[in-house]
Amino acid sequence: MSDMLTHTAGEDSAGPVPDFPMPRAAGCPFDPPPALLNLHAETPLARVRLWDGSTPWLVTRYEDQKALLSDPRCSVDLARPGFPYSSPVFREAAKGNSPSFLNMDDPEHARIRRMVTAPFAIKRMEAMRPAVQRMTDGLIDGMLAGPKPADLVAALALPLPSLVICELLGVPYEDHEFFQRNSEVGLRRDATPEQTRESSGELLKYLMDQLDRKLADPGDDLLSELATRVASGDLPRFEAAKLGVLLLGAGHETTANMIALGTLALLEHPDQLAVVRDTDDPKVLAGAVEELLRYLSIIHVGNRRLALEDIEIGGGTIRAGEGVILPGATANWDPEYFPEPERLDVRRDARRHLTFSFGIHQCLGQPLARLELQVVYSTLLRRIPTLRLATEPARIPFKEDGLVYGTYELPVTW
Ligand code: HEM
**pLDDT tens per residue across span 78-109:** 999 999 998 877 777 677 667 788 889 999 99
- Tell me what pLDDT residue 5 has: 37
| 108: in domain | no
Residues spanned by the domain of 205: 2-98+118-406
Quote the CA–CA distance of 173 and 161 in Å, as a whole number. Answer: 11
- Tell me what pLDDT residue 303 has: 96
Inter-residue contact 237 to 270 (CB < 8 Å): no
Q: Which of 253, 254, 263, 289 to mutate to test the pocket of ligand 1 (most atoms within 8 A of CB)?
A: 254
| 188: in domain | yes
- Closest among 276, 308, 270 to 380, alpha carbons compared: 276
Residue 361, ligand 1, Cβ within 6 A: yes
Residue 343 has pLDDT above 70, yes or no: yes
Residue 102, ligand 1, Cβ within 6 A: yes
Please report, for the domain that includes residue 381, its CATH number: 1.10.630.10
Encode 98-126: b = buried (16+ Cβ within 10 Å), e = exposed. Answer: ebbbbbbbeeebeebbebbeebbeeeebe
| 411: in domain | no
pLDDT interval class at 7 (50, 70, 90): very low
Q: What angle do CA 138, 142, 148 make, to 5 degrees?
A: 145
Residue 355, ligand 1, Cβ within 6 A: yes
Kindly give the number of the ligand 1 atom that is closest to the alpha carbon of 248. 30
| 58: in domain | yes
Supply the residue whose CA is at minimum distance from atom 37 of ligand 1: 102
- Tell me what pLDDT residue 6 has: 37
Does the predicted model carry a pTM greater than 0.85?
yes
| 300: in domain | yes
DSSP string, 258-282: HHHHHHHHHHT-HHHHHHHHH---H
- Tell me what pLDDT residue 189 has: 62
Q: What is the pLDDT of residues 11-66, one digit of tens each?
A: 444 578 999 999 999 999 999 999 999 999 999 999 999 999 999 999 999 999 99
Inter-residue contact 381 to 274 (CB < 8 Å): no
Q: What is the pLDDT of residues 165-214, one digit of tens each?
A: 999 999 988 888 887 777 777 666 667 777 777 888 888 899 999 999 99
Query: By three-state DSSP, how is residue 318 classified?
Result: strand
Q: How far is the CA of 346 from the centre of ligand 1 (A)?
A: 23
| 50: in domain | yes
| 129: in domain | yes
- Closest among 289, 294, 259 to 276, alpha carbons compared: 289
- Tell me what pLDDT residue 253 has: 82
| pLDDT: which is higher, 43 or 2 | 43
Amino acid at 233: G
Quote the CA–CA distance of 52 and 179 in Å, as a whole number. Answer: 29
Kindly give the number of the ligand 1 atom that is closest to the alpha carbon of 76. 16
| 280: in domain | yes
Give the chain's domain count.
Answer: 1
